Copies of this chain bind each other. A is one copy, B any other.
Amino acid sequence: MFARSFVHQSSRQVSRHGSWVCNPHRAARGSLLLRTYASSANAPLAEKFAVNGDRLWEDIHYTAQWSAPSPGGLTRLCATEHDKHARDWFRDQVLALGADYKVNATGTQFAVFPGEDSSIAPIAMGSHLDSVATGGKFDGPLGVIGGLEVIRSMKEQGVKTRAPLVLINWTNEEGARFFPLLGSSIVYAGQSTVAEAHASLSNDHSGITMGSELAKIGYVGDGPNTFQEFPISAHFEIHVEQSTDLEKAGKPVGWVEGWQGMTWYSLELTGEDGHANTYKMYGRRDALQGAAKIITAVEALAYKHNGDSTVTNIISGPWGACNIQSNTKVSFCLMHKEAEGQLAMGSDIEKQIKGIAALHGLELKLKRDIYVPPGDFWPEAIDCVKRACGDKGIGSRTGTGHDSTMTTTLVPTAMVFVRAKDGISHSAKEWSDKDDCTEGALALGKAVLNFDELMKTKK
């Protein structure tokens, strides 16, 4: 089976606690495929394909009602009641379209639509309906609802692919409520387990887990959890750009060629309890003072190495108005376009953190939770998106991780970017125009049809 043949060529492995293993033959092989199958024209079915931009736009805004209060934005944290509403709505839509529907143990929803040949693994379109705490209406939902629009339009237009299609709503891509991120696609990619995902702890340190919260909303299902159980042939995803390359180029869409390197760290500093008023300064073991110096160092690190960095979480205790802080936890991420720079940032900050902890007499637990070196999507998949975009697009790169960053370890994967106003994301101000969303969904549908055609030539 086609998808399987790609699996064996999978070039990388990502680990929650380790690093990618790169296959030096990968790029060369990809180029070969590209030379073999690339064409500047779209597949015949793709040439005629159209989507309904009004319906897409209405559903993006209709579903945004399922949110905690967030004027203009979206706060639909994973496994909340709001998330349940959006999931139920998704289920109803795909069932109405005749999907073979499953929910897996990490809550991910799969809606399979038959093609002409059910022996082929389906081509996937996927993203996530859950959001960050201060999210916009587009990061995530555009990918899922855009895919839904593609399915609906294909039905209406009698467009039938040879391969089946599967629309996927992945769980906890953001890691906003539960850490680590890519909570379900990482299990699908075989880099983590259902048990680990279920044990993902809430970032508010309340001790609740993703597994228990998914169970509460009735989204622990018996559907497939891994690629081995349910292989796909490829994965395509529309996403807002979260940067300004398209905006500057005056283009509504883009094909995403790859991603920058990203490393997530978490640390815990433990000092000593003491009275806030009566203890002398010298000899204190104040965990929060150590953390403050580390936070400042993480910022300076980005400038020093020409990368980027963000401290994303801090929690410190004991609560109160009259205690020295004896326990402080901090999470941060480092970003760099080049692998060498990313590694240099990591080893630099690790040394600094150890020094600061020692200076303040603090016990340190430091963990590199996730390490993703910079990489490229599959050339044949990129090419399908590139032809789908045509002269409405340019090539771009993503600065962050997506569910596609997991599927690309398995099968041909590429993404469609949609122009985002001022590059703002993870904010209520996140915005893409209706016409740009429409172009994005259209490019997604065409890319899928191009890939289906590509698989025919491969057979």
Chain A interface (Cβ < 8 Å from any Cβ of B): 132-134, 174-177, 179-181, 203-204, 242-243, 260, 262, 264, 272-281, 286, 288-289, 291-293, 295-296, 299, 302-303, 308-326, 331, 333, 335, 398-401, 423-429
Q: Are A400 and B333 in contact (CB under 8 A)?
A: no
B residues in contact with A333, CB < 8 Å: 276-277, 321-322
Q: Which residues of B contact A299 (CB under 8 A)?
A: 281, 286, 289, 292
Contact B281 A292 (CB under 8 A): no
Judge whether B313 and A321 touch: CB under 8 Å. Answer: yes
Cβ–Cβ contact B276 & A134, under 8 A? no
In the docked arrangement, what's the CA distance between A317 and B313, Å? 7
Knowing A312-B321, A318-B133, A322-B132, the reply to whether A274 touches B424 (Cβ < 8 A) is yes
Distance between Cα atoms of A174 and B320 in the complex (Å): 8
Residue from B204, B289, B308, B315 within 8 A of A311 (CB atoms): B289
Which of chain B's residues have a CB closer than 8 A to the CB of A316? 313-314
**Distance between A345 CB and nearest chain B CB, rounded to angstroms:** 12
Which residues on B sit within 8 Å (CB–CB) of A426?
A: 273-276, 322-324
| Separation of A331 and B308 alpha carbons in the complex (Å) | 29
Give A266 Cβ to nearest chain B Cβ, in Å. Answer: 9
A320 touches B176 (CB 8 A): yes
Report yes or no: B400 in contact with A203, Cβ–Cβ below 8 A. Answer: no
Across the interface, A400 reaches (CB within 8 A) one of B264, B277, B399, namely B277
Q: Are A310 and B277 in contact (CB under 8 A)?
A: yes
Looking at the assembled complex, report how far the CB atom of A199 sits from the nearest CB atom of chain B, in whole angstroms: 16
The smallest beta-carbon distance between A280 and chain B, in angstroms, is 6
Q: Which of B177, B243, B281 contacts A302 (CB 8 A)?
A: B281
Q: Which 5 A-B pairs have the closest CB atoms?
A: A133-B318, A277-B400, A278-B399, A292-B295, A175-B321
* Residues on the B chain within 8 Å of A286, using CB: 299, 310-311
Residues of B within 8 A of A313 (CB): 316, 319-321
Contact of A277 among B291, B314, B399 (CB under 8 A): B399
Which of chain B's residues have a CB closer than 8 A to the CB of A320?
A: 132-133, 174-177, 203, 312-313
Docked-complex contact A423 and B278, CB < 8 angstroms: yes
Residues of chain B lying within 8 A (CB to CB) of residue A296: 289, 292-293, 296
Q: A288-B311, A289-B296, A296-B289 are in contact. Are A322 and B277 (CB under 8 A)?
A: no
Q: Say whether B308 contacts A277, CB under 8 Å.
A: yes
**A335: contacting residue among B277, B311, B318, B321, CB under 8 A:** B277
Inter-chain CA distance A320–B176, complex, in Å, is 4
25 chain-A/chain-B pairs, Cβ below 8 angstroms = A132-B322, A134-B323, A180-B321, A262-B277, A264-B321, A273-B426, A273-B429, A274-B425, A275-B399, A275-B426, A275-B427, A276-B312, A276-B426, A279-B310, A281-B302, A286-B299, A288-B314, A289-B295, A289-B311, A292-B292, A292-B311, A310-B324, A314-B316, A321-B333, A322-B426
Interface centre among A262, A281, A302, A322 (most CB of B within 10 A): A322
Residues of B within 8 A of A181 (CB): 321-322
User: Do B289 and A174 have beta carbons less than 8 Å apart?
Assistant: no
Bound together, the chains give a CA A177 to CA B319 distance in angstroms of 7
**A276 contacts B203, CB within 8 Å?**
no
> When the two chains form their complex, are residues A427 and B134 in contact, meaning their CB atoms are under 8 A apart?
no
**With a CB–CB cut-off of 8 A, which chain B residues contact A264?**
321
Residues of B within 8 A of A180 (CB): 321
Complex: chain B residue closest to A243, CB-CB? B278
B residues within 8 A CB of A425? Answer: 274-275, 278
